[in-house]
Amino acid sequence: MKKILIALFTILSTNTFAGSAQNIADAFNASSTPAELVKSGWTGNDAGKGYKVLQVIVKDSSKAAELHIDADGKVVAAFDNAKTSKLNTNVDYKMIASMEDWASMGTGESGPMYHMTFGGLSFEGPMGEAMDNMGPFASFLINIGKNIQD
């Protein structure tokens, strides 16, 4: 999950990052993560809207990113802001951390649970579902972290 957040953070930070939400989406779609999320059943829990929302927020900043992931596990829409004002936390996710914490998550040295417990990552969404998908989330967070620019 931390890796997902780091990737999302990169998208959110258009003023200080070279990447964009679309760059993160492209890297995500080219990875093994979409197939893993389909296989686990994660993508099927979308409350009938046809996609899940993943928001990444940089704490104490106006930077944010939002990805919409469809039933095939692919990002079908990417925004350089938090477009959805009211998430359905039974199916959607919001992850908040400081710039420093996002960068730390991107190293992959500590997993998502470490950052949720000790590393300054706050999380809203279906916790049990997230726990069942730590591998894919960790990969996504690393993707974000690798794209962070100081």
Average of pLDDT values for 122-142? 86
- pLDDT, averaged across the chain: 81
What confidence category does residue 6 fall into, taking pLDDT thresholds of 50, 70 and 90? Answer: very low
Average of pLDDT values for 124-136? 89
Residue 51 CA to its chain's centroid (Å): 14
The domain limits of the chain are 2-146
Q: Would you state the pLDDT for residue 124?
A: 94
pTM score over 0.85: no
> At the topology level of CATH, where does 2-146 sit?
Nonspecific Lipid-transfer Protein; Chain A (3.30.1050)
Q: What share of the chain is helix, strand, coil (3-state, %, to 5)?
A: 45, 20, 40
